[in-house]
Amino acid sequence: MPEENYERDFFAWAQEQAALLRSGDWAKADVEHIAQEIESMGKAEKRELISRLAVLLLHLLKWRFQPALRGTSGRLSIEQQRLKIADHIDDNPSLKTMRDEAVTTAYRYARVDAERETGLVRETFPAQCPWTFDDMMDESFWPQT
């Protein structure tokens, strides 16, 4: 029955599994699916970091390569993403070990987005991320031309 609910009604399955775990009824718990869901939650946290970094990098690229368009909106977008990334890492400290990998992945996305949003050719933007994680997160860092 737990596996049926997992496939048919995830919410009911989750409620049932939570009750089984709280009551200590380990024998009835759907351990395999619980483990899969926990792993999935961890992957979602990493994806969130990459997504936030991609947005930050997009705005940093626009700041760097479109100086004539710099303004309050761009500045606030950069500041907001820095805060959200810092909060996300504070909530998930083990993500610090994945920062370099996350920046590399996020930069690939940001570069494509920058081409689309700026109208500049992709080769305008460096092939590899030109900034370290610490640079990007430094509130005094604003890339110049």
Q: How does pLDDT run across 61-88, given as a tens digit for each residue?
A: 999 999 999 999 999 999 999 999 999 9
Exposed/middle/buried for 25, CB within 10 Å: 0-12, 13-18, 19+? exposed
3-state secondary structure of 16: helix
pLDDT category at 1 given cuts 50, 70, 90 is low
**Percent of the residues in the chain that have a pLDDT greater than 90, as a whole number:** 92
The rounded distance, in Å, linking the Cα atoms of 122 and 124 is 5
* pLDDT at residue number 90: 97
Residue 114: which of 80, 69, 63 has the closest Cα?
A: 63
The DSSP call for residue 66 is -
CA 112 to chain centre: 17
| Domain locations in the chain as residue ranges | 42-137
Quick check: 2 pLDDT over 90?
no
- Residue 145 identity: T
Quick check: 41 pLDDT over 80?
yes
The rounded distance, in Å, linking the Cα atoms of 17 and 15 is 6
